[in-house]
Amino acid sequence: MTHCNNMDLQSHSTQAIQRLGIGSYSEVFKINIDKPCQPPDSSVTTELAGCILCAGLESSHRDYAIKQITITDKFSIEDFEYEVRCHKFAYEQHPAMFTYIGPVWRTELNDPPLISSNDTPAVSNIVVTAKPSDLIQGPPLGYAYLVTEHMSHLDLFSYYSNKQYVNNPIRPYMKGLLLALLIILDTLHNNLNMVHGDFRDRNIFINYRGPGWKQELLYRGAMFQIDIGGFEVKLGDFGLVENIHPGRPSFIIRDFEFLENIYCQRENWQYMTDSKAEYDAIVGFIRAEFMLDFYALIAKIRQPTQTNKEARRAFWFNKHRLLKTSVYYYELPRRLVDRYLELVYLA
C-alpha cells in the first residue's frame, strides 16, 4: 500500500470539500477535482507520477467521494486492503453494477487525518448514523483512504429518509430498481463468488443520469436496458466482503437485507412505483419468494416470550448456525431474478 503524508487534498479543487456520510470507522467526503496537478491517467504508476490522487483517477469523472478510514486495533490495515482488493475486482468485472474505485493510500502512523470534519460543511441532506468515536477507543493508529465515484443522490437510505422525493417527479423507479438489485446480487454470487455482507439501503448508491437514461445490465448473456427513472444504481462499501466458502460462518443472509428493507418499509417505497397494483405485485413477490422462508427460519429459533423485534435480533446473531445451505449462495439469487422477470418485470 502506498504511503502519503504530505498530500493537500483541498489544493485539487476550487470548491470546498463537503461531508457526505459518517460510518462506524469512516467518514466520507465529496471533492470536485477541477484542479488536478497532472492529467488523470490510470496507466501512469504512482511512483513516477508523484501525486497518488491524480495519477490514479479515471478521467471520466470529476466529482469523487473520498472515504477516510480510521485504522484501529479492531479495524486493521489488512481489513482495508481486503476491502479494496474485492471492490476493485468487482468494479473491473462489472463497472455498471459496482461503484468505481480509484486511488488508495494511507498516511504514516500518528499523522493527523488529511480531512477534518470540523472544517467541512455537510451536504444538506446527509443522514448521520454514527460518530466514528462511538466505536473507536484509544488513539487511532492511522488513516487509510479510498476514492470512489461520487453518486449524486447518495445512498437509498439517505434518499428516502429525506422525504424530498414524495412530490418529486425525479425519483428512482422501483420496478426497474429491484431488477437491477437482483441482477447485481446474482452476479456477485454466481459470477464473482463473493458475499458482500452488507447489501442494504445504506450501501446501495444512486446517481441521477438524466431523463430517459437506462441502465444496461447483463444477465445470463442477455443485455437488459432497465428504466430506473433516469437513475443509475450501484452497490458499494465492500467493508464486510468475503469469498463464498460453503461450511464457513458467513454474512450470507445480509446479502438479502435489501429485500427486507423494501418489504418492511412500505412508507418509504410506495412512492417509487407508478401504480398501487405494481407496488402490490412487487411486495407480493418479495413475500412469496423470500420473506416466508426468512420468517420460517426466524420461527425455528424463536423463544415463546420473545417479541418480533427480539426474535429478529436473535436471528441475526444466529444466522451462521441456521444457514448452512448453498441455496443462499447460488440458487436463490438466480431463482429470484428469473421469478421476478416472469412474475413482475415482464408480466
Ligand X SMILES: Nc1ncnc2c1ncn2[C@@H]1O[C@H](COP(=O)(O)OP(=O)(O)O)[C@@H](O)[C@H]1O
* Pairing, β 101-106 against β 222-226: unpaired
CA–CA dist 137, 218 (Å, integer): 44
- What are the φ and ψ backbone dihedral angles of 248, each rounded to 5 degrees? -100, 140
Q: How many residues does the chain have?
A: 347
* Residue carrying the nine cell digits 412469496: 288
Q: Which does 205 bind (CB under 5 to 8 A by kind): ligand X, Mg ion, none?
A: ligand X
Looking at beta carbons, which residue is closest to Mg ion? 237
Q: Which stretch binds Mg ion (CB under 5 A): 117-125, 140-148, 197-205, 285-293?
A: 197-205
| Residue nearer to ligand X on the CB measure, 186 or 237 | 237
| 268 binds, options ligand X, Mg ion, none, Cβ within 5 to 8 A by partner type | none
**53 scored as a contact of ligand X (CB under 6 A):** no
Please identify which residue in the block is written with the cell numbers 484509544.
138
Q: Which of residues 75-94 bind ligand X (CB under 6 A)?
A: none
Q: At a CB cut-off of 8 Å and minimum separation 6, what does 103 contact? A: 46, 52, 53, 55, 56, 57, 145, 146, 147
Name the binder of 13 from Mg ion, ligand X, none, CB < 5-8 A by kind: none
CA proximity to 247, closest of 190, 323, 328, 334:
323
Spatial distance between the Cα atoms of 196 and 168, rounded to a whole number of angstroms: 32
* Residue at 221: amino acid letter: G
Site for ligand X, residues 151 to 170, rule: CB under 6 A: 151, 154-155, 158
Contact 54, 105 (CB under 8 A): no
Residues 184-243 binding ligand X (CB under 6 A) are 202-203, 205, 236-237, 239
Dihedral pair phi/psi, residue 302, rounded to 5°: -75, 135
Instruction: Give the one residue of 68, 70, 99, 203 binding Mg ion; rule: CB under 5 A.
Output: 203
Residue nearest to ligand X (CB): 23
Left, alpha or beta for 212 (phi > 0: left; psi -120 to 50: alpha)?
A: left
- Of the two residues 101 and 298, which places its CB atom closer to ligand X in the complex? 101
Sites for ligand X among residues 99-128 (CB under 6 A):
99
Q: Which is nearer to ligand X, 186 or 198 (CB)?
A: 198
Contact 341, 270 (CB under 8 A): no
68 scored as a contact of ligand X (CB under 6 A): no
Residues contacting Mg ion: total by CB under 5 A: 2
Q: Pick from 27, 149, 201, 237: which binds Mg ion (CB under 5 A)? A: 237
Q: Which three cell numbers stand for residue 27?
A: 467518514
Site stretch for ligand X (CB under 6 A), options 19-27, 102-110, 171-179, 258-266: 19-27
Pick one of 4, 21, 101, 244: the residue that binds ligand X (CB under 6 A).
Answer: 21
Residues that bind ligand X (CB under 6 A): 20-21, 23-24, 26, 28, 65, 67, 99, 148-151, 154-155, 158, 202-203, 205, 236-237, 239
Residues that bind Mg ion (CB under 5 A): 203, 237
